[in-house]
Chains A and B, each alone.
Chain A
Amino acid sequence: KNEVEQSPQNLTAQEGEFITINCSYSVGISALHWLQQHPGGGIVSLFMLSSGKKKHGRLIATINIQEKHSSLHITASHPRDSAVYICAVRAGNQFYFGTGTSLTVIP
């Protein structure tokens, strides 16, 4: 069983749609990270959360510590948002990673 589960695994959306990617985890965490991996492989950190909600441009990340759940929302999606989105949690000295959600936004 993975400590971090993401859904959906794959997601295709039309440009302009509102997108939600979900992450559930089973361990006690000190922080949760949302990462973006582009087709070339490079990874960019989008958010680090320990409570509540954060917003950056069209991206919003929320976390519910009691329910051990986080969501990443993309408003007004654009083809350049196409990437793999990875949820990662820090528990003690360990990082646990989800397998990623592959998002394709069609013009």
Chain B
Amino acid sequence: DGGITQSPKYLFRKEGQNVTLSCEQNLNHDAMYWYRQDPGQGLRLIYYSQIVNDFQKGDIAEGYSVSREKKESFPLTVTSAQKNPTAFYLCASSTSGTGNIQYFGAGTRLSVL
């Protein structure tokens, strides 16, 4: 079955720790995205990648880093510089091109210990 898989479902971060959220897709999509969702707010774009080995900052990239070494994978690292990391993180993918439908993963809920 084609789809987009995020792991883990729940993640806890200690003070000063970096954590990495996994996102894998087998839809052969060129574009991948990371969003953060906070209560009462719309999804906000953290980073996106239109093609392998290239990625762009979104609206709230500070304190996060990504890599896109393979088409299928777009991991997000929440660094210790992100002072308010508690949120629901969603990964999505789409074919390249304007306005294409994004397919979302099930999300990762990150909490701070």
Contact = CB atoms under 8 A, between A and B. Distances in A.
- Contact-residue size bin, chain A (C-beta under 8 Å from the other chain): 20 to 34
Contact of B98 (A31, A98, A100): A31
Interface string B31-45: 001010000111111
B104 A45 contact: yes
A4 interface: yes
B104 A99 contact: no
Nearest to A45: B101
Nearest to B41: A99
Interface in B57-113: 88, 90, 92, 98-107, 109
Interface of A: 2, 4, 29-31, 33, 35, 40-45, 48, 50, 86, 88, 90, 93-100
